[in-house]
Chain A
């Protein structure tokens, strides 16, 4: 089929007449408009040179436009892509002439009509703009939770406050800017000097099941005949409550731990987390938390199976650890 032939249903009443009087599509009006714009811009910048260029563009394009528009009047063939449209019910009812498949629309022809272009352009541009706008918004919603997380050193006061072998429930503030919300609790025992260095057991009170506050199983406070110590250090108020724990237990779902933080009963999946620490000018400084699968031995001789900090309820050893291959950035 020749591309310039009218569509096969051209003899149908609706199809041909509406196009017949219209001039064919032309790009020259666009060039003409650009020429006018250049003239106007030239009037501001450089009337002599730029406006002249604009005038030339406008005249050339205008002439070509006029040539295109009058092509039909001058009897020249107009190059128009045939528009594709569905056959009406009337056309379907017709029987095609023998030997010619008149009912087949000109589907095989390459055609990219204007409305399809506009459709695609609208959707494409919309998607582009949507994407450009969405990326920073989603980034702002998500990224601050993961980037720039800062750790805080916590000063718990001179190590002489911790008599050897005694347990204390230490409550302190990890981030002075957050005040009460950053209150944390740890169970601390001075293990004495081991290999010429002071040794401490510092167990976080966050349950390894789902993060509830674990309690010491045993008498606390004045019943022991020891004083509760209130200090004010560089990192805020610190409270040390004496305690004699037989172990630690969680009130939420009944997880139980021994005094080394080993999981002994209930739903927790590992031992209690611990704080790493340093002794700086005779003061006990908490650094950061790490996770523990289990502890062999006790006190200063304990062998701690240490892992990077994982969230409560996440296994750090055994086959289940493969469920948590990546951890979000931590301080």
Chain B
């Protein structure tokens, strides 16, 4: 079964589903969110959608990792709206950067699955008077019963 776990959303609209989201507020400083899982998912996908940046030279940099352990990956600083998909599958992780038209900008593969027993996302914000709109969710496929 696929489950979608929203980790963070600014007020506004989910850019992928076009559905309104109403928790959270624009990001103005460093923070982190995580989700613990008590099993290894068959498949896990983290979506980071940055839909707006305001301020003087606003920038946000994400570090994505497992809930336990030291498998962390730091993304490049993001200075304009874009979407990042991070897919963990078996023993690898594929990170895909897309622009707001859905075109693939870059793809990176890591030789390990970053999502071990969950996900942890942290971010650091820089710039003067920064305010960043974001939608972050974690989608997992549970292990089938009896496996």
Are A and B physically bound partners? no
